[in-house]
């Protein structure tokens, strides 16, 4: 029985600092058959336990790590900003040149609308919430400049020999919470109000909503009322309310209040439209690369966002894309099985790949890693992925191999 399909996410500094062949040798030895390289990415700070040149890294915000073809971005004011630290190396080329020798596939892990550098430079392109505030973390998925930038980015990446282009954040923000710099709220955030804070009320959304029969500006009053009612709820009440009841409240409000239901449907229509455009861009580029969507599935310890919170309808998306990469960073193997089983039910025959986090604070024992690999596959996943190469301790690579080998022998 063959070892199950497994990929691993990694960043450009992993490839440059360790060298592509060292990276490829390590992942190949662990039973990993594909690498998901971040080609367009957001900022972050990382601990890198086995990096030979640095122990921490501050990533630049909203940059690309390949040589952009600026001719593909003429229809938008947004131009790809190349990394200043890695400006003299095309990391995609660097990895692709060696990957063939190891029979390891390369996928482009591509963050699109989540780009605060663009949003701060062009605030008119950013999400405008119900209170007329600007969400600088995200470009509006209905803004024509954001859409045209994504099309250019896809066609640009299609110039490389990639197995797949994996789009992350080609949607609405997942929640009010984002882990932004020094992010502090002072209140517990319920799931539905969190998602309503990501609804955009810019002129482009108002116009697009009208095509779907939704008066978005007319619905804004109700959106504000729901958010205010939740934010004014006493903290001790929220802390003592079972999680299942907050989900029930979200379901009832989103089902019973027509305007809220129409907003949710509208967001899903928009995300479907974004991915149909992505599919068209790949076709126009005559690319053989597959199109994948990266979607949130579940997170232990975080209940304000998860599956469906990005304005995504995985059922309809499964008919547009070639694969769904589900992020499920949960500590309980049985919970993982539950999440994957229902997602597989929803997406049908579309291949489903489950991203696990084999490091602290999610999976940091060999038993936990093996159990979640097994449960993901038993629940119907076509394969698993691991996030991410740079911060995963070397001992955990051995645990990954053991878990994959165990799944093969079952």
For the chain, domains (ranges, CATH) are 5-183+268-409 (3.20.20.80)
Q: Per residue in 124-165, pLDDT tens? A: 999 999 999 999 999 999 999 999 999 999 999 999 999 999
Work out the end-to-end distance of the chain between its first and last CA atoms, rounded to an integer number of angstroms. Answer: 8
What does the pLDDT average to over 55-69?
96
Q: 307, 297 in Cβ contact below 8 A?
A: yes
Secondary structure of residue 6 in the 3-state scheme: strand
> Phi first, then psi: what are they for 388, rounded to 5°?
-135, 175
Cα separation, 85 vs 360, whole angstroms: 28
Secondary structure of residue 275 in the 3-state scheme: helix
pLDDT of residue 28: 97
The DSSP H or E segment spanning 26 is helix 20-29
Say what percent of the chain tops pLDDT 70. Answer: 97
Cα separation, 247 vs 238, whole angstroms: 12
pLDDT band at 300 (very low <50, low <70, confident <90, very high): confident
Cα separation, 339 vs 275, whole angstroms: 23
Q: 83, 8 in Cβ contact below 8 A?
A: no
What does the pLDDT average to over 207-216?
98
pLDDT of residue 307: 85
What does the pLDDT average to over 90-113?
98
Q: Is the pLDDT of residue 308 over 60?
A: yes
What does the pLDDT average to over 311-327?
97
* Exposed / middle / buried, residue 303 (Cβ in 10 Å: 0-12, 13-18, 19+): middle
- Measured in whole angstroms, how far is the alpha carbon of residue 163 from the centre of its chain? 18
Q: Per residue in 381-401, pLDDT tens? A: 999 999 999 999 999 999 999
**DSSP symbols for 170-200:** -SS-S-S----TT---SS---HHHHHHTT--
pLDDT band at 178 (very low <50, low <70, confident <90, very high): confident
Cα separation, 210 vs 198, whole angstroms: 19
Q: Where are the beta strands (DSSP E) in 71-228?
A: 105-111, 126-128, 134-139, 164-168
pLDDT band at 306 (very low <50, low <70, confident <90, very high): confident
Q: Per residue in 5-35, pLDDT tens? A: 999 999 999 999 999 999 999 999 999 999 9
Q: Is the pLDDT of residue 410 over 70?
A: no
pLDDT band at 123 (very low <50, low <70, confident <90, very high): very high
Q: How many CB atoms lie within 10 A of CB 153?
A: 28
Q: 35, 105 in Cβ contact below 8 A?
A: yes
Buried-state track 6-31, b at ≥16 Cβ within 10 A, e below 16: bbbbbbbbbbbbbebeebbebbeebb
Q: 131, 261 in Cβ contact below 8 A?
A: no
Is the bond preceding residue 187 a cis peptide, omega within 30 degrees? no
Q: 351, 34 in Cβ contact below 8 A?
A: no
What does the pLDDT average to over 303-319?
88
pLDDT of residue 394: 97
Q: What is the pTM of this model?
A: 0.96
Mean pLDDT over the full length of the chain: 95
Cα separation, 21 vs 25, whole angstroms: 6
């Amino acid at each position: 029985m063959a070892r199950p399909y497994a990929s691993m996410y990694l960043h450009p500094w992993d490839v440059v600092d360790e060298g592509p062949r060292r990276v490829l040798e390590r992942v190949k030895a662990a039973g990993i058959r594909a690498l998901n390289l971040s080609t367009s990415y957001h900022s972050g700070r990382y601990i890198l336990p086995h990096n030979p040149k640095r122990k921490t890294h501050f990533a630049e915000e909203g940059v690309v790590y390949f040589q952009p073809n600026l001719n593909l971005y003429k229809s938008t004011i947004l131009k790809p900003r190349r990394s200043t630290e890695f400006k003299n190396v095309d990391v995609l080329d660097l990895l692709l040149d060696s990957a063939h020798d190891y029979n390891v596939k390369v996928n482009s892990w591509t963050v699109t609308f989540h780009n605060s550098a663009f949003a701060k430079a062009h605030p008119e392109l950013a999400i405008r919430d119900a209170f007329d505030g600007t969400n600088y973390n995200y470009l509006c998925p209905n803004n024509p400049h954001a859409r045209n930038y994504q099309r250019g980015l896809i066609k640009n990446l299609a110039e490389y020999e990639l197995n797949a282009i994996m789009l992350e954040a080609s949607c609405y923000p997942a929640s009010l919470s984002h882990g932004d710099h020094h992010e502090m709220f002072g209140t517990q955030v319920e799931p539905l109000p969190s998602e309503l804070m990501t609804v955009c009320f810019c002129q482009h959304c108002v116009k697009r909503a009208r095509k779907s029969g939704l008066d978005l500006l007319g619905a804004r009053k109700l959106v504000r009322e729901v958010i205010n009612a939740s934010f004014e709820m006493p903290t001790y009440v929220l802390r003592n309310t079972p999680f299942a009841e907050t989900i029930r409240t979200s379901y009832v409000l989103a089902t019973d209040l027509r305007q809220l239901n129409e907003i949710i449907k509208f967001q899903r229509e928009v995300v479907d439209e974004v991915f149909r455009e992505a599919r068209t861009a790949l076709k126009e580029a005559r690319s053989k690369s597959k199109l994948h969507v990266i979607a949130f599935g579940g997170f232990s310890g975080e209940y304000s966002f998860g599956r469906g919170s990005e304005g995504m309808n995985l059922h309809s998306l499964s008919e547009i894309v070639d694969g769904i990469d589900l992020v499920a960073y949960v500590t309980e193997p049985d919970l993982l099985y539950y999440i994957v089983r229902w997602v597989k039910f929803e997406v049908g025959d579309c291949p489903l790949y489950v991203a696990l986090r084999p490091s602290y604070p999610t999976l940091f024992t060999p038993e936990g890693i093996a159990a979640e690999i097994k449960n993901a596959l038993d629940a119907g996943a076509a394969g698993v992925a691991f996030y991410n190469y740079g911060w995963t301790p070397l001992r955990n690579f051995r645990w990954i191999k053991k878990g994959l080998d165990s799944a093969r022998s079952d």
